[in-house]
Structure 1
């Protein structure tokens, strides 16, 4: 039963507030790329649409069907991703992964609010859901850049 109590504590008020305030949920008209990612372990999904201008994200839309942890991560991503490049998004994704798997530092600004997810490091089955938004965003940038070169 103490495991259940620990899991309940994981869903802090800040995580639930982020999950409840999801930005950029409107679909984009004519996105440069659309990527849907799914966590096979829990079934969470995140669909990301982007537009790129000069290598930077100019528009972003997301459809998030995930646990509160995945929603909180997507909320932080959606609130901060406009104007960023692939390198900046990859850096945030890699830092989040290190924070969860190796107890590394939280991602740097503008993604430093992802620190709220640090307690999830002990719940490996939640990591994939937390990483979905950044994983999908990196893949969408890849697709958009490939389409622009074609």
Structure 2
């Protein structure tokens, strides 16, 4: 089951305890739900549009996704957690994409680093970094696949920090 968020709109000004957002949830290429959260700490709202129900999605997620550990407690996967993960990925992706305009972003030994351009050409900075560290991945040069890897690494670090 491929679960995607489309037409995601995050309203940071209204986000207090949770992200305030609206989105469409597409499952296997078909619109399934309209989703939203008002940003005040409550649960997400899902309005079913397609034939698949939230219970069917939750059942599939429990069978096909691992349980998650948070603050020493184990939780079964569900649509709300899946959507929260997709929203987090979208936010990190947008943040990192903006960062690429003014920084060189690298993946070094499983961690993401940024080097400011400060008005200098990106090729010069990338060359200097690569001269000192030849085995790094420069996200600015690898495009979407590199950006996706960097986002996954950043989210994994955030998840580890949350579990401590």
TM-score with structure 2 setting the length: 0.26
- Structure with larger Rg: 2
Which of the two has greater helix per residue?
Answer: 1
TM-score with structure 1 setting the length: 0.28
